[in-house]
Amino acid sequence: MSATLRPRPVPGLGCNAYGKEEEELVLDVLRRKEPFRYYGLNPQSPPPMVATLEKEMCAFIGTDYALAVSSGTAALEVAYAAIGLGPGDEVIVPAWSWVSCVTAIMRVGARPVFCEIDDTLNIDPAEIDRLITPNTKAVSVIHYQGVASPMDEIVHAAHRKGLFVVEDCAQSLGATYRGRQIGSWGDVAIFSFQYNKTATCGEGGMVVTRDQRIYERAVRLHDLGNYRPFHAAIVTPREPAFAGGQFRMSELAAAVALAQLRKIPAIKAHCRAVQARVLAKIAGLEGIGVRRVPDPEGDFGFEPYLLFADPAKVAPFQEKLNARNVNCGARTGSYGQYNREYVKTGQVHHPALSPFKDFKEWPAPGYRAVDFPKTEALTSRWMALPIGWLYTMEDADYIADAIVAVHAEVFG
């Protein structure tokens, strides 16, 4: 190793872009003393932050209705309940996904049916036809780490079979497919504003839809069954009241999320520029490919993936790259769901509610690592290269040079 060691760049997206915009909006909430979204001191003018966030989210995504909630997980639970899922229903969901992609399905009493990913690291669209049963009600599309799934193909395949398409955009606010924002394609979509996401207020989420009934049900589910005048002015209620949870967003969270949403185009442009610089310099290295991106124009660009032909090369490559202060990793927050504790036990908080209770043997086929050879093989071959808001073009050059040098060492 000859080149001087460059300090490790600081990873992270929206959080590192915090500035006076976030400060001003938060201070505005504090100075007005109005932290609650539905009313404050002045009955003539209800607090603006959550309402403005929802409005700008609709405009940004290109959808009709947006509902802010307390987290991405809350958004998923609300979305599944809003489309009416419950015991006996099945949802096709990528085995390679975040915890709540599956627990949200289990918590409404429905059964997650795991599917394989393909070399996009998102759902393999062919899995819909393979896994559909008379009980299948929905397919969950997870736009993994900034890359959109081919939504035209998926929506077509799902709608032809009468399935709802639920878009989980938690990791990828700002990614587009064929010029349209993700979240605008499915029947309902969710976003997250948790710390690790492209835009963040610490904790927060959003449900978006074009469907008036789904919107009304989501509102009731997130606000104790209420449907307040604020929402009635947007969509006239038609559903009878029913019991809901409490997953509202506060004005303080919305103030930060709003400032962050406005920065998404800048954050995306920056990540794309850094990523393009790295990928151009390392193109064509023998034995290393990259994740297939269905629409490269819409990639957020915050986490390119190197796919190794030989899985045995991943660990030494990663070790040497890390020693050169390049952030890289084989794993992110996602894991094969079949390896998670709640799938291994098949339990929810009450046995009668477990969607797996009718299986005689557990884990049943479809819930074991051996049932996902494609996903297992793919996830053993890749290495992630996170890119952040604070990465510079000099970092990009250094990362690319380090990859070329390590390649010579490991493959040489």
Ligand X SMILES: *Cc1c(COP(=O)(O)O)cnc(C)c1O
**Contact window for ligand X (CB under 6 A) among 96-104, 130-138, 265-273, 337-345:** 96-104
**80 near ligand X, rule: CB under 6 A:** no
Of 194 and 318, CB closest to ligand X: 194
> In this complex, which beta carbon is closest to ligand X, that of residue 77 or of residue 89?
77
Give the shortest CB-26-to-ligand X separation in angstroms: 19
* Burial status of residue 390 (CB atoms within 10 A of its CB: 0-12, 13-18, 19 or more): middle
- Scanning residues 196 to 235, which ones bind ligand X (CB under 6 A)? 205
CB of 76 to ligand X, least distance (A): 6
For residue 35, cis peptide bond before it (omega within 30 degrees of 0): no
CB of 85 to ligand X, least distance (A): 16
Enumerate residues 123-142 that contact ligand X by CB under 6 A. 142
From 103, 140, 194, 250, residue interacting with ligand X (rule: CB under 6 A) = 194
Q: How far is the CB of 203 from ligand X (least distance, A)?
A: 6
Site string for ligand X, 162-181 (x = CB under 6 A): ------x-xx----------
CA atoms within 13 A on the CB side of 272: 16
Number of residues that this document lists for the chain = 412
Which residues neighbour 220 within 8 Å (Cβ) at sequence distance 6 or greater?
226, 227, 239, 241, 242, 244
Tell me if 94 contacts ligand X by CB under 6 A: no
DSSP secondary structure letter of residue 10 = P
In the bound state with ligand X, the residue whose beta carbon lies nearer, of 48 and 304, is 304
Q: How far is the CB of 57 from ligand X (least distance, A)?
A: 15
- Min dist. Cβ of residue 147 to ligand X (A): 12
Asked whether the beta carbons of 407 and 285 are under 8 A apart, the reply is yes
Residue 41 burial class via C-beta count within 10 angstroms: exposed 0-12, middle 13-18, buried 19 and up: exposed
CA distance 102 to 346: 12
Q: Which of 72, 183, 294, 298 binds ligand X (CB under 6 A)?
A: 72
Q: Confirm or reject binding of residue 71 to ligand X (CB under 6 A).
A: yes
Close Cβ partners of 34 (under 8 Å, ≥ 6 residues apart): 40, 41, 42, 47, 251
Q: How many CB atoms lie within 10 A of CB 392?
A: 11
Binding of ligand X at residue 117 (CB under 6 A)?
no
Q: What whole-number distance in Å separates Cα of residue 110 and Cα of residue 141?
A: 17
Question: Least distance in Å: CB of 114 to ligand X?
Answer: 14
Stretch that binds ligand X, among 12-20, 24-32, 70-78, 178-186 (CB under 6 A): 70-78
Distance CA(313)–CA(308), nearest Å, equals 7
Which residues are within 8 A (CB) of 183 and not within 5 positions of it... i.e. 6 or more apart? 61, 63, 167, 169, 173, 189, 191, 208
The piece of 7-15, 69-77, 229-237, 321-329 that touches ligand X (CB under 6 A) is: 69-77
Residue 141 CB neighbour total at 10 angstroms: 27
Under 8 Å between Cβ of 388 and 11: yes
Measured CA to CA, the distance from residue 363 to residue 356 in angstroms comes to 9
Whichever of 267 and 402 has its CB closer to ligand X, that residue is 267
> Element (H or E) spanning 4, and its range?
none
DSSP character for 246? B
CA proximity to 15, closest of 271, 390, 272: 390
Q: How far is the CB of 100 from ligand X (least distance, A)?
A: 5
Nearer to ligand X, 73 or 337 (CB): 73
Kindly tell me which residue out of 26, 67, 85, 101 binds ligand X, with binding defined by CB under 6 A.
101
192 or 321, CB closer to ligand X?
Answer: 192
By CB under 6 A, is residue 73 in contact with ligand X? yes
User: Nearer Cβ to ligand X, position 196 or 347?
Assistant: 196
Residues of this chain that interact with ligand X (CB under 6 A) are 71-73, 76, 97-98, 100-101, 142, 168, 170-171, 192, 194, 205
